[in-house]
A and B are shown apart, each in its own frame.
Chain A
Amino acid sequence: MDVFSSLGHGFEVALTFQNLGLAFIGCLLGTVIGALPGLGPSNGVAILIPLSFSLGLDATAALILLTSVYYGAMYGGRISSILLNIPGDEPAVMTTLDGYPMARAGKAGEALAISGIASFVGSFIATWGLVFLAPQLVKVALLFGPAEYFALYVLAFATLGGISSANQAKAAFAAALGLGIAMIGVDGQTGVPRFSFGTVHLYDGIDFLVAIVGLFALSEVLIFLEHRGEGEVHGKVAIGRPVASWAVLKHCTPAMLRSTVIGFVAGVLPGAGASLGSFMAYATEKNISNRDKTFGTGDPRGVAAPEAGNNAAAGGALVPMLALGVPGSGTTAVLLAVLLSLNITPGPLLFAQHPDVVWGLIAALFMANVMLIAMNLPLVGIFARVLLIPPRFLMPLVAMISFVGIYGINGSTFDLYEMVVFGMLGWVLRKFDVPLVPVIMGVLLGNQMEANLRRALTISNGDWGALLHSPLAIALWVLAAVGFLLPIVVGKRVKARMARAKGELAEAMDAD
């Protein structure tokens, strides 16, 4: 087949000593960057752009380095999610839900191993998807107009209730809070600033990373301070064996495969990205297989699903970026900028005009993926040892990394103040048992949701019927209605079981 000879050619391009070395460095740096709270794939790649230019790398080599960082960060994000309950990057938020309870139950090693394997499965299959489906999936992306995007975001929020094991009303409140925070900044539709109080710093809105690090990391530090260390937030966790048994892996395989498909599709949709991928993967898996109500309390499938989902989304997000020049996520937006500055215009003709770059890149993705799993499984033990550090040392470190990481993004002290405010907000919300993930979802999706609604209405001259004008839109609305109503209908039975598991659950609550 034509694809295989192209791919073979790609490996010829990629398998040079220099490119292998770059992929290795990229994977290592990416994993570390992903693991550090506050540094995610998009700023990781952004930080290394100057490096790749100053090294004078050609287009293929530069892309291999940067996409290795991208894939590496997707792997690394899970580490701090599981060990510290602090997502290392945006898409790893969902991994905290079951990963942290597993770590608290002494199965940190197992959680890291499962999530590592899930990451491998997700990105391996997604890379094949990129090879075969790129031209076809581009057509699917073309079915999505503003009305369809709006329906998709409604679907994401409608299924929120299924995500959080806490009070539904609190989840709704948290989502509304997130949507409200998303409104801050210049309105992209009219160019008019909203809720910026005349401060030029608020014109760009709230940086997603600032919010996430404040809400998750700083509030963790505040809670530690509140208990003055006597609570030993992380202290008693035993690592457990740093491998996963075949039985557990087999148990997780269907979850991984389903999540890979969901994540890949979410990645392909421009603007949706890895966060939506891991979110949808987790929500779906919880709806399908949560028979024993173990999700949220340390179910290995709850770790496998979001990790397979977000790594598959990373591969998926490259499809529209390469094939249409439309980034599928924040990180691919950064990569797009790199491509353009290397005089490569992504778009329908990229595969024909720059086969070396495209196939070399795809071959490098396969290599990076193998390197990452090889690197991540044996190193699991080393990463897990982070937990042995007593909180009185770890928490100052978390605070330090948070401040340095956030300052590093824009070099702005205003961001630091903003982060402290979010830290206090997170502390208050935790006191009231309000889940934090819906807040983040609101901040993340709010602008896009609003923009697409307004675009749809502008195009239709204000006719709301336009939101239901295509079969795809109608299908998404139906799914949203089902996703919203189902937990309410079956909610009573869930509550009864939750009452039984309450002892464990109380601990898991703060994982939300």
Chain B
Amino acid sequence: MLNIRLPGLGRGLALAFAASALLAGPSTAFEPGNAECIAPAAPGGGWDFTCRQVGKVMQDLKIIPGTMQVTNLAGGGGGVAYAEVVSKRSKDNNLIVAASSATATRLATGAFPGNTMEQMRWVGSIGADYGVIAVAKNSPIKTLPELFAKIKADPTSVSIAGGSAVGGWDHLKVLIAAKADGINNLRSIKYVPFDGGGEAITQLLAGSVQAFTGDASEAKGFVDSGDIRVIAVLAPERLPGAFHAFPTAKEQGIDAVGANWRGFYAPGGMSDDAYKFWVASVKKVYASPEWKKVMEQNGLAPLDLDGPQFEAFVKKSISDIQTISKEIGLIK
């Protein structure tokens, strides 16, 4: 099981940290003056959630002095915030910015004009929402290979609904899985974009489409009610809780993982000391029992990457997305 990873260690770290805070001598040389987290979207969304929840845990654990100020800088699917940090705040040591798979997808497809991932320092991840592919409960399709066999036989017979635009993360997840199953003509797969996962599932229930691609958290309510059947989870291992009954794609012989990760980047000109501080801080948050509770409540699965490891992960996912986007003709 994934969610029982190191609760003891987490508590130990928190204690160790509390002790070090008492001694007033944390090991890092840097301490933020007034810590700020930019959520590149309006209040209420996933990035806003990332900033506020992580900020709150950092405050509660006294990792940062005072409070974390959350700034909502919406626009351009995160592009406004990205451009602002590059142009105006590239040396700000007190700043981190919420990011997710969507950030990587947009960087990969050139949706942030003139911006690249090298302009930022990538801090770490705080969890992931794994992808699922589902059908209605009365669908004749029972497994992921069956779905793909149907697409191979006649691509026009299957429409797959998702909550992101064409070339967005929900679309890419299906393509990653289809490619792993040996479908070469990715363009022939019919993907129908809706405004969010909930709307896409409703259309699945209404019978307008044959399959759904989205995140586990979006599908949870409908899995619990038994209205939809998850035919594959795009995770390395089975997920805990309600999703434990559903097989991964890997178990079905299709080696595909689609994680909608959540994490942070920091300005590219941040000092090494400050960068180390933020990497360590995000790590502490991840390890804390408080954060375990937040993850459990919000359907976040474990994904624990930090510093250079996280940077390599983002780099790889950007290049993977670019490869697929080229194949479907979204970018040249």
Contact = CB atoms under 8 A, between A and B. Distances in A.
Interface of A: 46-47, 49-50, 53, 141-146, 186-191, 193, 198, 200-201, 203-204, 270-271, 320, 324-327, 333-334, 336-338, 340-341, 343, 345-350, 353, 409-412, 414, 451, 455, 458-459, 461
Given A200-B80, A455-B208, 15 more contacts: A46-B44, A50-B43, A53-B52, A145-B203, A186-B111, A189-B166, A191-B166, A191-B167, A191-B330, A204-B74, A270-B202, A327-B198, A350-B221, A455-B193, A459-B192
B45 interface: yes
Given A46-B42, A191-B165, A349-B221, A326 B199 contact: yes
Contact of B113 (A189, A198, A270): A198
Contacts of B195: 188, 271, 451
B220 interface: yes
Interface string B184-207: 000000111111101101110111
A336 B221 contact: no
Contacts of B196: 326-327, 333
B140 to A, nearest CB: 18
B145 interface: no
Contacts of B191: 458
A326 B193 contact: no
A459 B194 CA distance: 12
12 contacts: A145-B206, A190-B166, A191-B167, A200-B80, A200-B83, A203-B77, A203-B79, A271-B195, A348-B222, A451-B195, A459-B190, A461-B190
Interface of B: 42-45, 49, 52, 70-77, 79-80, 83, 109, 111-113, 156, 159, 165-168, 190-196, 198-199, 201-203, 205-209, 217, 220-222, 224-225, 227, 297-298, 330
A141 B202 contact: yes
A204 B209 contact: no
A252 B195 CA distance: 38
A451 B196 CA distance: 13
Contacts of A461: 156, 190
A190 B159 contact: no
Contacts of B83: 200
Nearest to A415: B75
Contacts of A193: 111
Nearest to A461: B156
B206 A143 contact: yes
A334 B45 CA distance: 8
A271 B76 contact: no
Contacts of B298: 340-341, 343
B113 A200 contact: yes
A190 B156 CA distance: 18
Q: Which of B79, B112, B156, B198 has the most CB of A within 10 A?
A: B198
Nearest to A193: B111
Q: Which of B49, B77, B83, B193 has the most CB of A within 10 A?
A: B193
A412 B75 contact: yes
B328 to A, nearest CB: 10
A50 B166 CA distance: 32
Contacts, number: 144
Contacts of A346: 221
A306 B192 CA distance: 34
A195 B320 CA distance: 29
Closest 3 pairs (CB-CB, A-B):
A347-B221, A337-B44, A200-B76
Contacts of B166: 189-191
A53 B45 CA distance: 14
A140 B145 CA distance: 33
Contacts of B203: 145-146
Given A191-B166, A203-B75, A142 B192 contact: no
A292 to B, nearest CB: 42
B77 A204 contact: yes
Given A145-B206, A189-B165, A459-B208, A412 B80 contact: yes
B225 A458 contact: no
B283 to A, nearest CB: 23
Nearest to B325: A191
B202 A142 contact: yes
B331 to A, nearest CB: 10
A53 B59 CA distance: 15
A201 B208 contact: no
A341 B44 CA distance: 8
A163 B330 CA distance: 42
A304 B210 CA distance: 44
A189 B193 contact: yes
Given A341-B49, A347-B221, A144 B193 contact: no
Contacts of A320: 202
Contacts of A143: 206
A204 B165 contact: no
A18 B227 CA distance: 37
Nearest to B53: A341
B208 A325 contact: no
Contact of A188 (B112, B165, B190, B297): B165
B48 to A, nearest CB: 8
Nearest to A353: B224
Nearest to A142: B206
A340 B198 CA distance: 12
Nearest to B297: A343
A53 B43 CA distance: 12
Nearest to B330: A191
Contacts of B167: 190-191
Contact of A186 (B77, B159, B224): B77
Contacts of B72: 410-411
A194 to B, nearest CB: 12
B220 to A, nearest CB: 5
Nearest to A410: B74
Contacts of B194: 455
B100 to A, nearest CB: 15
Given A187-B165, A455-B192, A347 B222 contact: yes
Contacts of B77: 186, 203-204
A148 to B, nearest CB: 9
Given A270-B202, A345-B224, A459-B209, A338 B44 contact: yes
